[in-house]
Homo-oligomer: A and B are copies of this chain.
Amino acid sequence: MKRFLTVDDIGDLGQALKEAAEVKKAPYAWDTLGKNKTITLIFFNSSLRTRLSTQKAAMNLGMNVIVLDVNKDGWQLETEFGVVMDGDKPEHLREAVPVIGRYCDIIGVRSFASFEDKKADYEEEILNQFINFAGVPIISMESATRHPLQAFADLFTIEEYKNKERPKVVLTWAPHPRALPQAVPNSFVEWMKVADVDLVVTHPKGYELSSEFTDGVTVEYDQKKAFKDADFIYAKNWASYEQYGQILSQDKSWTVDEEKMLLTNDAKFMHCLPVRRNMIVTDGVIDSENSIVIDEAANRVVSAQVVIKRMLEALK
């Protein structure tokens, strides 16, 4: 396993889920696998869950962990080729990436969509420079278009909580005061399409995700219809893809509340966190027994550990 960005990189989902269950049951069973191996976690954007869970996963495997907070360091990297570097940016990604690759065995990268250049974002310009130039395996810890460690943890959480063979899973847009990337919903759709679930996506008009992800997926513009008989409600805000990066609505009639949850099949409530209470979801729903957001977050260690474990095994 040389990179982890899309659902294809994980291969067979059934096998991945089986491995996730093993890792969760005995997290320290491979605690010498990473001996004298180092993972560097590079954050162009800050992080709580992703940093802690990925760091914990690597330590469970006996690895050394180096955290590099590019964001805080104000480390400005040039990414364009051919420019005269006489401005603010002291270093080119073309040197920085292979050098970091020489100091470790695996690199994790977090680099959000800029919302400045749709094409650059959707071509994953930053992440691909790491994939092309680092010389070591690369894990996306949320890139411009995807958040695969989250989607893998989400799928595993659904697997743990489902009480029927093929549950109905609803991804619902919900309002938020800031413009948020599409990475989480893109990956969620990408993984759920392959998984054995009945997926419905619901959002206001104008919030359609890229067809690269949603081709063949049921989109229902009436949120209440979508919720009917759902086994899992996955709430998330995202900014418009069409009018790239724009907030088209902050309509609170899309907030997930107790009344809407009554339409479901006693659905579990999921969210990747951090969550804006009483914007995305009411206190009543997130504090209810059906809310599994903390278990979902805890499973971020499991998904990261499976991915790092596979990469370490491939390094041997």
Give residues in A with beta carbon < 8 Å to B. Answer: 27-28, 31, 36, 38, 40, 46, 48-49, 52-53, 55-56, 59-60, 64, 66, 68, 72-75, 78, 81-87, 90-92, 94-96, 98-100, 102-104, 177-178, 273-279, 283, 286-287, 293-294, 297-298, 301
Q: A52 near B40 (CB under 8 angstroms)? A: yes
> How far is A47 from B94 in the complex, measured between Cα atoms in Å?
17
* Also in contact, A297 and B99, with CB within 8 A (given A38-B59, A60-B36, A92-B277): yes
Query: Which of B46, B100, B297 is A75 in contact with, Cβ under 8 Å?
Result: B46
Query: Which of B60, B86, B102, B294 is A297 in contact with, Cβ under 8 Å?
Result: B102
> How far is A305 from B94 in the complex, measured between Cα atoms in Å?
26
Query: Which of B73, B90, B275 is A276 in contact with, Cβ under 8 Å?
Result: B90
Q: B274 near A95 (CB under 8 angstroms)? A: yes
Q: B103 near A52 (CB under 8 angstroms)? A: yes
Output the least CB separation between A130 and chain B (Å). Answer: 15
* A46-B73, A56-B64, A84-B277 known, 18 other contacts, Cβ within 8 Å: A27-B36, A49-B99, A52-B68, A52-B103, A59-B64, A78-B277, A82-B278, A83-B277, A84-B278, A85-B276, A86-B177, A87-B177, A90-B274, A90-B276, A92-B277, A94-B287, A95-B275, A95-B294
**A-B contacts, 17 listed (Cβ < 8 Å):** A36-B60, A40-B52, A48-B96, A49-B99, A53-B103, A83-B278, A84-B278, A85-B278, A87-B177, A90-B276, A91-B273, A94-B287, A95-B273, A95-B274, A95-B286, A99-B298, A102-B297
**CB-nearest residue of chain B relative to A52?**
B103
Q: This chain: how many copies in the complex?
A: 3
Pairs A-B, 5 closest by C-beta atoms: A91-B274, A102-B298, A85-B276, A84-B278, A52-B103
Q: Which of A31, A102, A301 has the most CB of B within 10 A?
A: A102
**Within 8 Å CB of A274, what residues of B?**
90-92, 95-96
**CB-nearest residue of chain B relative to A53?**
B103
Q: B279 near A86 (CB under 8 angstroms)? A: yes
**Within 8 Å CB of A55, what residues of B?**
66
Q: A283 near B82 (CB under 8 angstroms)? A: yes
> How far is A99 from B27 in the complex, measured between Cα atoms in Å?
17
**Within 8 Å CB of A28, what residues of B?**
36
